[in-house]
Amino acid sequence: MENLSIGELIDSLKHPLIRGARALNTPSEREAQARYLVEGEDLVQAAVNCRAPVDYALLAEDPFPEPLSHALSNAGIPWYRTTKGLLYKIIGTPYETAVTAVAVVQKKQAALKDLLSCENPLVAVGERIQDPRNVGVLIRTADAAGTSGLILTTDSADPFSRQAVRSSRGAILRLPLCLAAHLTQVLSSLKEAGLRIISTSAHADLCYWDSELDKPCAIVFGNETTGVSQEVKNIADLNVRIPILGGAHSLNVAVAAGIVLYEAVRQRMRGES
């Protein structure tokens, strides 16, 4: 990048910045580079606003997003122009889209202690969530509910994939995210730190609204098909259910998370009044 001027046009697929960004469509490269792609003017602007660690941005030559270029410059983030055709290749779509900006962002992963730094932690946990769109919406929901952060097991879908990042609507840029290879060990550490572990299960006896969620707690949401594992249920202090009153077999995991997390929000806001 040292040989490029800010705003310079890059029109070659072989350029290192284009190749580096395009490679982030694959999980192995996202892991190797510890970076991921954010696409769209709104999300790139969100990355600027929350001071995410953006390496550089690529903006369409036509139509050129001029306000975004000013925001990037003011934030000291390098940006370059490129063709819309190259932008399509970078984000990996075989068709034209309305995307006029992409940014290469460094991955940020939180440590467990970061999720416990507030006075009354509310931690969301996702176990083996397989659909990347569900992962993205879970991140968005946890952010919207003001949780301390999200713990996601490493056998879940990649939260830094294109589908997950798009579905998070920028929440992945803000929400503390902790990836856990051994969830029961992490939950044990949370218990030692004073948090109650709440697991969600369609077969639990207690309804979620009858549980105390206004104290420090971690709420676990499970796999789309099999739910929370028995190992997690065994370590949990409480197992709760969301009543299913109609003919549906279950709720989408992100919908379930929204219901239970916002009950925790309601109880906590009630306690403050």
The letter for the amino acid at 114 is D
Pairing type for strands 206-207 and 217-221 reads unpaired
Cα pseudo-dihedral 186, 189, 191, 197, rounded to 10:
-10
Determine what percent of the chain is predicted with pLDDT higher than 90: 84
Domains of the chain in sequence order: 9-106 (3.30.1330.30), 112-272 (3.40.1280.10)
| Arithmetic mean of pLDDT, 226-251 | 90
Q: State residue 185's pLDDT score.
A: 96
Which tens digit of pLDDT belongs to each residue from 50-81? 999 999 999 999 889 999 999 999 999 999 99
Average pLDDT, the chain: 93
Average pLDDT over residues 183-210: 94
Q: How much is the pLDDT for 95?
A: 63
Residue positions counted in the chain: 273
Among 5, 18, 78, which residue's Cα sits nearest to residue 69? 78
Under the banding of pLDDT at 50, 70 and 90, the label for residue 273 is: low
Considering the entire predicted model, what is its pTM? 0.94
Residue 15 has pLDDT above 60, yes or no: yes
Q: What's the whole-number mean pLDDT along residues 8-15?
A: 94
Q: What is the mean pLDDT of residues 107-135?
A: 95
Residue 93 has pLDDT above 80, yes or no: no
Question: What is the DSSP-derived secondary structure letter of residue 232?
Answer: H
Rounded to an integer, what distance in angstroms lies between the CA atom of residue 44 and that of residue 37? Answer: 10
Average pLDDT over residues 39-60: 96
